[in-house]
Amino acid sequence: GKTTLLNILSTLDTPTAGEVYLDGKPLSKIKDREISAFRRNALGFVFQDFNLLDNFTIRDNILLPLVLSNTPVKEMEKRIQPIVKNLGIDSYLDNYPYEVSGGQKQRVAVSRALITEPKIILADEPTGALDSKASQNLLETFEKINALGQTIMMVTHSAKAASYSNRVLFIRDGEVYHEIYRGNQAAHEFMDQIVQSMKVVSNRGEQDEH
């Protein structure tokens, strides 16, 4: 259900019923010829396996969506500098992906997602390929850019990753089964609530099967 939801939100798939709205506009009304530009400009993507091009420098990987949109070079430079400084990768721009760590690769992927100033970032298991320290750094980065007003939707099986969110939806068999909000709780307190909720959702599912 979670992957299907991301595919629908990213316009790679269409729902069999209902409608999805982004910024007040129904996604189903976007014309086929406009889909690629919409996906490139309105959505940012962060994947578990980074999806970086090894023969491109880190700078070129980040700027690729803007190159595809024919953005002027001056505008590209204006956008990239604050993003890479904020994420602490400004000294790696001339390196290639294979020359940096997994955590740094994921920050490059986040920078690439941010460069188009998207309406929403869709993150699919973004901590899946990272060690615990790199995972924490990424989650703190998400928390930081979210506080600046960037909407992020993350799919994860990790209670710790989910605890950095403001709102958590639990999906089971294609339906939203449960929903909780962080409020003023610290991340570790919210994680305890998430773990308890996961147990409740799991127990309900087992009861429904009997």
Q: Are residues 42 and 100 in the same domain?
A: yes
150 and 183 within one domain: no
Diameter of the chain measured on Cα atoms: 63
Same domain for 150 and 183? no
Q: Is 38 exposed, middle or buried (0-12, 13-18, 19+ CB in 10 A)?
A: middle
Same domain, 53 and 143: yes
Q: What is the pLDDT of residue 147?
A: 92
Q: Which two tokens stand for residue 47?
A: 């994947």
Of the candidates 168, 192, 194, 193, which has an alpha carbon nearest to the alpha carbon of residue 179?
168
Please state the φ and ψ torsions of residue 55, each to the nearest 5 degrees.
Answer: -90, 5
Residues 24 and 88 grouped into a single domain: yes
Q: What does pTM read for this prediction?
A: 0.86
Residues 53 and 128 in one domain: yes
* CATH number of the domain enclosing 130: 3.40.50.300
Cβ atoms 45, 119 nearer than 8 A: no
Q: Which residues of 59-96 are buried (b: 16+ CB within 10 A; e: fewer)?
A: bebbbbbbeeeebeeeebeebbeebbebbebbebbeeb
Per residue in 45-102, pLDDT (tens digit) is 998 889 999 999 999 999 999 999 999 999 999 999 999 998 999 999 999 999 999 9
| Per-residue pLDDT at 3 | 78
* Same-domain status, 129 and 189: no
DSSP string, 73-124: HHHHHHHHHHHHHHTT-GGGTTS-GGGS-HHHHHHHHHHHHHTT--SEEEEE
Instruction: Based on the fold, state whether residues 87 and 119 are members of the same structural domain.
Output: yes
- For residue 169, the enclosing domain spans 159-210
- pLDDT tens-place string over residues 120-173: 999 999 998 888 888 999 999 999 999 999 999 999 999 999 999 999 999 888
Backbone angles phi, psi at 34, to 5 degrees: -100, -10
209 falls in which pLDDT band (50, 70, 90)? low
Total domains present in the chain: 2
135 and 189 together in one domain: no
**Three-state DSSP class for residue 185:** coil
